[in-house]
Chain A
Amino acid sequence: IGIFGNVQQKSLAVVYDVAGGRVGFAQGGCA
């Protein structure tokens, strides 16, 4: 299995919409 680790998640807002069956990323959302 490949794993998208937490170093790559830095500076990206990560959104888990589990009920909607989707994961989102937003640039600039952490500034």
Chain B
Amino acid sequence: EGEEAHHYHTLQLTSLLPSSVCNPSALVGNKRSRGSLEVVHKHGPCSTLNEDTVKSLTVEEILTNDQSRVDSIRARLATKTGKKDILGSKATIPAKSGSTIGSGNYIVTVGLGTPAKQLSLIFDTGSDLTWTQCEPCARSCYDQKEPIFAPSKSTTYSNISCTATQCSELTSATGNDPGCSASTCVYGIQYGDQSFSVGFFGKEKLTLTSKDVVNGFFFGCGQNNQGLFGGAAGLLGLGRDRLSIVSQTANKYRKVFSYCLPSRSSSTGYLTFGSSGVGRKVKYTRLSGSSRSFYGLTLTAITVGGTKLPISPTVFQTSGIIIDSGTVITRLPPTAYSALSKAFKAQMKKYPLTRSLSILDTCYDLTNYQTVEIPKISVLWGGNTLVEIAPQGILYANGVSQVCLAFAPNGDDSD
């Protein structure tokens, strides 16, 4: 029994379902003074984006948007490596897919300008440019919760000229060459789901917390914004490129940031800049990949219920893997996914299987259960760094009648 407990999680089914009451993390309050922002789920009860501005998505819609994001990431990487991307050549992916948005479920609130105006931004490690909608919305702005930022009412805003170095850096940060209008640099960014933002490239004071202020922060002041940003005022780009907030604050925070995502949509997490909040229990793996935007890791093995899956290391080496705060479901090479699903099913055989949920094909009907015993899943990163995935990260529930293994296959091992 002891051995079995070692390799299994026992959890209450209700812990996988959303709650209607916000239960903020105490940890966030303690960290607020150390360059920390609160992270909330856009559709959860801790979000202040109300129903009028945020249309709640169905699980199917979330997963469809997630696939758009993954397709976009693949298209960008294929372009940079010169690989032919079969999917990217289809009409569903724009030829110049600049970046990714997908479902963008997590948001943080920052202050912009002088006096500072509070803005809720989508928190995204998979893109670089930070932008927000700006008055006068010359072409189009979607509904957002907070008042739209008005640069004319800030004493610290300035436009960036077309000849500035930072203007030319937009090419790699957005995937699109900048434009020029009356000597002001114009950015344009389009996401995998066809959402986009176009506007003036500007510089402004960014207030993370009362003690953490970034002067002269380069950002997009959007005049034409359309898409699935659902009530958020814009996006906070945490990628690797030179215009990301991580690179722009390198002198202050040394390119170190950390976060906890809320384990349930009714709780809160945090996003902290700098190393002061980083604990000692962290296990590191080497950052890999030549991409200027994405954070690449090296996956070497997966264990299920204490047993290492029989997957050749070359399967992982062929495709590589990236970590992304904006992608909901982990994609694996189909050979690896097949082994994972098979092992998971074998150890879950006492529970009845049910129909697939969009891209998730290993689903269970747990209507008649209050608790469920699931095998532990761990991933082994390069450098022998073993990380056990929390039970909330193993299953994705669409109600108790459809609880699915939260992994999906790519189309091909070479993807």
Task: Identify the A interface with B (CB < 8 A).
Answer: 1-31
Contact = CB atoms under 8 A, between A and B. Distances in A.
Interface string B108-139: 00000000000000000100000000000000
A5 B330 contact: yes
A3 B388 contact: no
Given A5-B328, A24-B283, A15 B258 contact: yes
B174 interface: no
B372 interface: no
A6 to B, nearest CB: 5
B255 to A, nearest CB: 4
Contacts, number: 170
A15 to B, nearest CB: 4
A3 B390 CA distance: 17
Interface residues of B, number: 67
Interface in B278-309: 278-279, 281-287, 295, 297, 299
Interface of B: 25, 27, 66, 70, 73-74, 77, 105-106, 125, 238, 240, 246, 250, 254-263, 269, 275, 278-279, 281-287, 295, 297, 299, 316, 319-333, 336, 379, 385, 387-390, 392-393, 396, 406, 410, 415
Contacts of B327: 3-6
B282 A24 contact: yes
Given A3-B327, A16-B125, A26 B282 contact: yes
Given A2-B331, A23-B285, A14 B260 contact: yes
